[in-house]
Amino acid sequence: MVSAVGRIKKRDGTISDFNQDKITNAIHKAMKSEGITDMAVAKTASDIVCFMIEEKFGGYTIPSVEQIQDIVEMVLMKQGYHDVAKSYILYREKHKGIREAKKIGLNLERLVKDYLSNADWKIRENSNEGVQSFAGLNARVSGEVLSNFALNQIYTERAKKAHETGEFHIHDLSYPIVGYCAGWSLENLIRKGFGHVPNQVHSNPAKHLDTLTLHMVNYIGTMQAEFAGAQAFSSVDTLLAPFVRHDNLSYEDVKQDMQKLIFGLNVPCRWGWQTPFSNLTFDWTIPEDMKHKKAVVGGVELDTCYGDYQKEVDWINQAFLEIMIEGDLKGRVFTFPIPTYNLSNEFDWDSPKAKLLFDATAKYGIPYFQNYIGTNMNPGDIRAMCCRLNLDQRELMRRPGSIWGPGDSTGSIGVVTINLNRAAFEASSKEDFFAKLKELMTVAKGTLETKREIVNNMLEKGMMPYTKVYLGHFENHFSTIGICGMHEACMNFLKQGIGTPEGREFAKETLEHMRGVLREFQEETGHLYNLEATPAESTAYRLARLDRQKYPRIYTSGTEKHPYLTNSTQLNVDATRDIFEAIQHQGEIQSMYTGGTIFHAFLPEAIDGETCKKLVQRIAQTKLPYFSITPTFSVCMNHGYLRGRHHQCPDCGDETEVYSRIVGYMRPVRTWNDGKQQEFEDRRTYDKIA
């Protein structure tokens, strides 16, 4: 039979001449494996395949290789060759694996060359890595292998397509069998000591503050190897305070131990030459639910209660802040740990330690603030939720803690960020937009349910031995769905930005719709889901690039060369210089998230501590749950800290490092990816703050 089919579309998109002999030979191989050796039988089946191709495509459409192979399978089944069809399917899968392996091999070769020649933008995907290194190359190569494994072996074809084409972003694909982030019980470490894993070193509970700080450093570094993202301790000052009195330490002793803790947490010891992503939350004032709780030192309960140690709590906070303000030898800011301070109604705004806190905030923007004043939340909720396993699945729980510091024994299994910009650009109406959004969320749910099942299995198989000892289960870990590009979605769908009343209402409507869908997911699965304003350090750049590749006329922020999407439902970075205008816009929106969210008060340069205190007081009266004050500053290797943005030192003329906050932590701007650097250039900082 001479086929009328002239051409086919190959897998790489190129067009080639149709060759029936290839179909005949493939069918013959499958038949031989089942004992049918007659080539004529294979040729007859091949003729039927060609007839059906002509009937289906009629010479007007060029069939793809995959479409032809689907028809071969159907013909074999209809002709009664069921075992042959199975062999043919195995043949397809085998060759698919060979193609994927070859593709991965070529990709890895190119990846190594690009990394060594600094041609790969993903070298600066995470500014925490900072510089090229062998450890970074090693992580990049192994991460690529694991990412390919996740997309091809773990997740569905629909999820793979959505990620690869930029409909959404599956975070941390290179960590496919471990969870995303975790908050740990520091009290548990104090009671149990560090270790208890077979074939590893065990240590007794710490009896001294200097030992406990070493345990904390080792604990966070070890747990970072079993998770993709942030590791957190809460109530650090409260829980450490009894050790100070127990050893009769002087203030200088306490400061020395805080120095050990801070320097230890800034060593790049994690995978890929990165520093462990650590968050420490400080109570500042001992919370009500801990005041009458027995203090613990060396794993033993004392006769005293935590409420007896406010003086020692003050010392710990003062010492920690003094070290953070001093910076390192060259005056650089410490990137980690990210300290979070709880602002409650008991907060003493005028104490000497408060002055120190606001001086540190004004100079470096170091602390984050968890707002328990304007949000009507309670610090005790962090500890209370972590003991509740029987949660009402009809209720969306607010994940305890902050975007960087989950509460004790909770966190996120995994994160998928929806590209709102793409969905809005493709939507023909608001109903169509919400339908697309729900479909993407449903695919994301399937991805997160798969991730949860795998992580649970890996925990039981011993792949996370320390997590098994200190956590034991992931029942309190959330499946997290986030968003990116609401401002750009408004521009494409409404032809006006999120800063307009229409844009703001569209954002709120979108969040409310997503909250409703997440409630459905919780009832359906029995698992916790939350809605997060994902930080999107590299995701915002990656998704914008993919948007521009698919739709050259789509609106994205930035430039044609360096596009980006605005984080979550944040105002576009050039929207206003008036901080209170921005806060008024964001307050109600940010309170709709049940996972992490944050408002960054970007300032052109450092302000004085008193002005900073008044600004923090005003923000604390709003509904913003979590916020930072972020001044721009520079560091000269010869002259140290410089206020504001200086690319050259005004004293010696040497090149400086310009610092600002990239999503969550302070890093030199030159280590950021191109999209975030463009965002920094576009940003209008807040100069109206009084």
Say if residue 62 is in the same domain as residue 118.
Answer: no
DSSP E strand boundaries for 143-209: 168-170, 181-184
pLDDT tens profile 323-366:
998 888 877 888 899 999 989 888 999 999 999 999 999 999 98
In a domain, 556, yes or no: yes
Contact 567, 600 (CB under 8 A): no
Please give the helix or strand (H or E) that residue 122 lies within, else none.
none
Contact 668, 124 (CB under 8 A): no
Provide mean pLDDT across the span 628-638.
Answer: 94
Say if residue 132 is in the same domain as residue 215.
Answer: no
Say if residue 442 is in the same domain as residue 581.
Answer: yes
pLDDT of residue 104: 62
In a domain, 371, yes or no: yes
Q: Considering 559, 593, 627, which residue would you say is the last residue of a domain?
A: 593
Contact 280, 235 (CB under 8 A): no
User: Which residue's entry shows tokens 């065990």?
Assistant: 202
Q: Considering 65, 89, 113, which residue would you say is the last residue of a domain?
A: 89
644: left (phi over 0), alpha (psi -120 to 50) or beta: left
pLDDT tens profile 557-579:
999 999 999 999 999 999 999 99
pLDDT tens profile 584-617:
999 999 999 988 889 999 999 999 999 999 999 9
Mean pLDDT of the chain: 89
Q: What angle do CA 682, 685, 686 make, to 5 degrees?
A: 150
Contacts of 86 (CB under 8 A, 6+ apart): none
Q: Considering 43, 68, 89, which residue would you say is the last residue of a domain?
A: 89
Pull the structure tokens for residue 586.
């964001």
Say if residue 64 is in the same domain as residue 122.
Answer: no
pLDDT of residue 590: 93
Supply the DSSP string of 437-499, one letter for each residue.
HHHHHHHHHHHHHHHHHHHHHHHHTTSSHHHHHHT---TTEEEEEEEE-HHHHHHHHTSS-TT
Give the CATH number, domain containing residue 490.
Answer: 3.20.70.20
Residue 183, pLDDT > 80, answer yes
377: left (phi over 0), alpha (psi -120 to 50) or beta: beta
The predicted model scores a pTM of: 0.82
pLDDT tens profile 156-170:
999 999 999 999 999
Structurally, the chain folds into a number of domains equal to 4
Among 226, 229, 227, 261, smallest CA distance to 126 is for: 229
Say if residue 497 is in the same domain as residue 469.
Answer: yes
DSSP classification of residue 124? G
pLDDT of residue 90: 83
Residue 176, pLDDT > 60, answer yes
Among 134, 464, 177, smallest CA distance to 271 is for: 134
In a domain, 135, yes or no: yes
Confidence of residue 393 (pLDDT cuts 50, 70, 90): very low
In a domain, 447, yes or no: yes
Confidence of residue 398 (pLDDT cuts 50, 70, 90): low
pLDDT of residue 389: 33
Pull the structure tokens for residue 338.
């990210």
Q: At what angle do helices 486-493 and 501-525 cross, to 10 degrees?
A: 120
Selected residue with higher pLDDT from 11 and 303: 303
pLDDT of residue 382: 52
Among 539, 417, 398, 419, smallest CA distance to 478 is for: 398
In a domain, 429, yes or no: yes
Residue 553 Cα distances to 105, 152, 425, 540, 549, angstroms: 35, 31, 10, 18, 10
Please give the helix or strand (H or E) that residue 339 lies within, else none.
strand 338-343
Please list the residues that pair with 342 across neighbouring strands: 370
Residue 396, pLDDT > 90, answer no
Please give the helix or strand (H or E) that residue 662 lies within, else none.
strand 657-662
Say if residue 377 is in the same domain as residue 465.
Answer: no
Say if residue 132 is in the same domain as residue 222.
Answer: no
Say if residue 365 is in the same domain as residue 415.
Answer: no
In a domain, 645, yes or no: no
Residue 479 Cα distances to 237, 277, 448, 537, 543, angstroms: 30, 20, 6, 20, 21
Residue % of the chain over a pLDDT of 90: 65
Confidence of residue 34 (pLDDT cuts 50, 70, 90): confident
In a domain, 506, yes or no: yes
Pull the structure tokens for residue 425.
């650009």
Please list the residues that pair with 542 across neighbouring strands: none
Residue 439, pLDDT > 50, answer yes
pLDDT tens profile 123-149:
555 544 556 777 778 777 888 889 888
Say if residue 378 is in the same domain as residue 453.
Answer: no
DSSP classification of residue 151? I
pLDDT tens profile 308-322:
999 999 999 999 999
Domain that holds residue 303: 182-385
Say if residue 430 is in the same domain as residue 483.
Answer: yes
Among 324, 399, 394, smallest CA distance to 362 is for: 324
pLDDT tens profile 451-496:
999 999 999 999 999 999 999 999 989 999 999 999 999 999 999 9
Residue 94, pLDDT > 80, answer no
pLDDT of residue 6: 76
Distance (Å, rounded) from C-alpha 504 to C-alpha 655? 42
Residue 392, pLDDT > 70, answer no
Provide mean pLDDT across the span 626-644.
Answer: 93
Among 550, 540, 549, 573, smallest CA distance to 675 is for: 540
Confidence of residue 84 (pLDDT cuts 50, 70, 90): confident
User: Which residue's entry shows tokens 């060259």?
Assistant: 330
Provide mean pLDDT across the span 150-158.
Answer: 93
Distance (Å, rounded) from C-alpha 218 to C-alpha 95? 46
Residue 649, pLDDT > 90, answer yes
In a domain, 391, yes or no: no
Supply the DSSP string of 557-625, one letter for each residue.
EE-SSSEE--BTTPPPTTS-SBHHHHHHHHHHHHTT-SS---EEEEESS---HHHHHHHHHHHHTSS--
pLDDT of residue 496: 98
Say if residue 73 is in the same domain as residue 124.
Answer: no
Say if residue 76 is in the same domain as residue 174.
Answer: no
